[in-house]
Each structure stands twice: as C-alpha cells, then as structure tokens.
C-alpha cells in the first residue's frame, strides 16, 4: 500500500508541475483552450486543501473536510498540528511533504506571474506546509520532527482523518540519529518558500530563510540518512534510496538562490562533484533531486552568468533532451499505449523545445 501511495503522490506532483508548465507553454497553442488549463491549474491547487491536517480556517473551500490531528505532537510535548497528509492515508511524511512544498514554491517562482487568479491559493498551499515545517524545525533545538503517524498501523486502517483512531507516533532526527536527506529537503522547502513570500510577507520570508539556513547546517554537520536512523517507520514508504548527497546539494542550491550568500556558492563549488553534480541522471523525484538541482543551477548560469554553474547547464540540456523524442542523445522511455492522446505530448514538448531554444 505504501508504495502505491508513493506513486500516487508522485503522480499528483507531476500533474501539478505539468499543469503549471502547460498553462504557460500553451498560451498560444490552438489545440488547447486557455480556460481548460486555468481550470486544471485551479483544481490541482484545490487538491491540497483536501490534504490539510489540523485546524481548518474559515477560508477553507473544501468544506466537507473538518479539523483533524489536533493533538499531533502533544504526547511528546510539542505542537505538530497542521501540514499535509500523504495521498490517501493519514500519515504526515516529512520527506515528500517538504519536496512537494519545494516544487510548489518553484512553480510559483517561475510561473506565478502567469496565474494571477490562482496566486493567492498557491501561496496559501505553500504556507499551509511551511507553517508546519517551521514548527517541526524549531520546536526542539538540535531536532527535526520528520513524521507523525505509524505507517504500518495506518495502512491497515482506511478511515477519514476526522475519525482517526490510529497511533500518532512522532518521529524525529537528531545529532545522534541524523537525517541529512529529510533535513536538507526541509531546508530547500523553507528557502524556496522564502522567495515566494519575499514581497507579500517580508518578515515571514526572513524567518523562512533563517530557519532554512539553520536546518541546512544541522543536515550538513550531522550526516546520515534518515532511512538508517528510522528504518522500518520510513522504509519502504519513503525510504531515501538515493542517499542524502542529492538533498544536500539541492538544499544548498535553494539557499544560494534565496540568499545569494557566497558561502553557499562556495559550498556548491567545493561539494558539487562528490554530491552528484558529475553524474548524468535521468529522473527527478521526491527521492532523487539531482536533475532538478542542475536545472536550478543552470538558471543561475543563464540569468546571472555564474560561470561556476556552466557544467550544470550541460547536464540539464542532456536531461531535457532525454525527455524530447527525436534527439540523438539518451531517450527516456514512455509508457506505450493511449495512441489517441499521443498528439498531446509532442505538442507540449515542441513548446518546451522552443522555450529552451529561447533560453539558449
Ligand atoms: C552566509 O551564510 C553563512 C553560513 O550559513 C553565515 O554564517 C553568514 O552569516 C551568512 N552571511 C550573510 C551575509 O547572511
């Protein structure tokens, strides 16, 4: 069940990114009406309201949902109310929740200007998570709370979060039991969100960035995978199969982007090679962040001419080309079938190719 959940979460994230991307790319594409994509975008953001844990606000639009998880953390004397449930179950899994937040924030950073009617909802979706992540990161010094709910017990019992009577165990990483993967992803989420709120709520933005730096320092200083520290409560559900190097580089890249702080540039330069920058890599997921890191750093190279990041652009070109049929380099394999819809993908990819040509 857990793995199915994982793929459901992945699917929703892919849909989220695709719908945001398509919305921008197809504005002048006659095969789609902009209204369909505006609707798809609105619904994909609304989805997150259905996943809310905690005390729901009066602005809640999915009114069939009620308050839930109101004593999360209380038996451990910490406030861990809020955040998002994973797809279809009642566990709050820190690693995919943080990654989802980073990607939501990235979407708003890149495409926020193209979604004036949804920007408020998109910011609210991000903040629902970052409010929780801030609590998880600051409740106890030297500790990051990374999960609420026992996945083995939870998965045996399918019930509404409002009715939940399964154990709400709390799991954490610490200096002695590190989790550089989940901590660095949390840092990435907080840093990316700090960019989103920079103009609309500067003091919140500052708090996000300062916390991101602290959590990153914790991730980097006390190294280890949370899969080793927490074993059967995170594996095989959201096991960190790719280890923690990819998240450290991703986290440092987001903090660099958010802060322009030279020590993070230096960190990326001196650690990039050992943390996966040199590998050509063809997937991007809640587990493996390398391809996304390269695209993020390429933007820095293209926009600010940060020479140090030229390598990342070359890798990003390879990655993007792997997704575009007909290029001579390594090709990603698409699932066969659905021939009637097959015109959609090449159209999308054509637009993507044009965009890349413009960027180049
Ligand atoms: C840059 O980051 C380093 C490491 O986190 C920190 O010690 C330093 O204060 C930061 N500098 C500024 C100007 O924020």
pLDDT (mean) for 42-64: 97
240: left (phi over 0), alpha (psi -120 to 50) or beta: beta
Name the DSSP class of 304: H
Going along the chain from its start, the domains and CATH numbers come out as 2-359 (1.50.10.10)
Tens-place pLDDT, residues 221-232: 999 999 999 999
Atom 6, ligand 1: residue with shortest CA distance: 263
DSSP H or E stretch at residue 78: none
Q: 181: CA distance to ligand 1 center in Å? A: 22
The per-residue pLDDT for 4 is 38
Using pLDDT thresholds of 50, 70 and 90, give the confidence band for residue 247. Answer: very high
Q: Which is the closest atom of ligand 1 to the Cα of 259?
A: 14
Question: Quick one: 163 exposed, middle or buried, by C-beta within 10 A (0-12, 13-18, 19+)?
Answer: exposed
> Do 196 and 108 form a contact (C-beta atoms < 8 A)?
yes
Atom 5, ligand 1: residue with shortest CA distance: 213
316 or 125, higher pLDDT: 125
> In whole numbers, what is the pLDDT of the chain averaged over residues?
86
The per-residue pLDDT for 31 is 61
CB proximity list for 249: less than 8 A, separation 6 or greater:
268, 271, 272, 275, 276, 277, 289, 290, 293
Q: 147: CA distance to ligand 1 center in Å? A: 29
Q: Which is the closest atom of ligand 1 to the Cα of 213?
A: 5
The per-residue pLDDT for 311 is 85
The per-residue pLDDT for 349 is 46
Q: d(Cα 301, Cα 278) in Å, to the nearest integer?
A: 16
Parallel/antiparallel/unpaired status of strands 92-93 and 143-148: antiparallel
Q: 275: CA distance to ligand 1 center in Å? A: 22
Residue 192 has pLDDT above 80, yes or no: yes
CB proximity list for 292: less than 8 A, separation 6 or greater:
250, 284
Q: Which residues line ligand 1 (CB under 6 A)?
A: 213, 261, 263
Q: 20: CA distance to ligand 1 center in Å? A: 33
The per-residue pLDDT for 337 is 67
Q: d(Cα 26, Cα 349) in Å, to the nearest integer?
A: 11
101 or 302, higher pLDDT: 101
């Amino acid at each position: 069940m857990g793995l199915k959940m994982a793929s459901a979460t992945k699917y929703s994230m892919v849909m989220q990114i695709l719908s945001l991307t398509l919305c921008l790319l197809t504005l002048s594409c006659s095969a789609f009406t902009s209204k369909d994509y505006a609707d798809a975008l609105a619904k994909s953001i609304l989805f997150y309201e259905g996943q809310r844990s905690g005390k729901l606000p009066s602005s809640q639009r999915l009114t069939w949902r009620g308050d839930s998880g109101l004593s999360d953390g209380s038996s451990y004397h910490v406030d861990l109310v809020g955040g998002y449930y994973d797809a279809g179950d009642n566990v709050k899994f820190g690693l995919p929740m943080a990654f989802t937040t980073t990607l939501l924030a990235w979407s708003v950073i890149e495409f926020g200007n193209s979604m004036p009617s949804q920007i408020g909802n998109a910011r609210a979706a991000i903040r629902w998570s970052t409010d929780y992540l801030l609590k998880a990161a600051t409740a106890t010094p030297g500790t990051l709370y990374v999960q609420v709910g026992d996945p083995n017990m939870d998965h045996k019992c399918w019930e509404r979060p409002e009715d939940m009577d399964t154990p709400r165990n709390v799991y954490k990483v610490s200096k002695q039991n590190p989790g550089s993967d989940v901590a660095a992803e949390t840092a990435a989420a907080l840093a990316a969100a700090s960019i989103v709120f920079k103009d609309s709520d500067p003091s919140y933005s500052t708090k996000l960035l300062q916390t991101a730096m602290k959590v990153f320092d914790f991730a980097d200083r006390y190294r280890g995978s949370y899969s080793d520290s927490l074993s059967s409560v995170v594996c095989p559900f959201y096991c960190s199969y790719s280890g923690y190097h990819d998240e450290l580089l991703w986290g440092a890249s987001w903090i660099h982007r958010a802060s322009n702080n030279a020590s993070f540039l230096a960190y990326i330069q001196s650690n990039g090679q050992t943390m996966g920058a040199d590998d050509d890599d063809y997937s991007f997921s809640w587990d493996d962040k390398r391809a996304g890191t390269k695209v993020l750093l390429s933007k820095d190279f293209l926009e600010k001419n940060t020479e140090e990041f030229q390598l990342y652009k070359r890798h990003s070109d390879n990655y993007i080309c792997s997704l575009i049929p007909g290029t001579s380099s390594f090709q990603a394999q698409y699932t066969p079938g659905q021939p009637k819809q097959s015109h959609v993908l090449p159209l999308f990819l054509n637009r993507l190719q044009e965009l890349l040509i413009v960027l180049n």
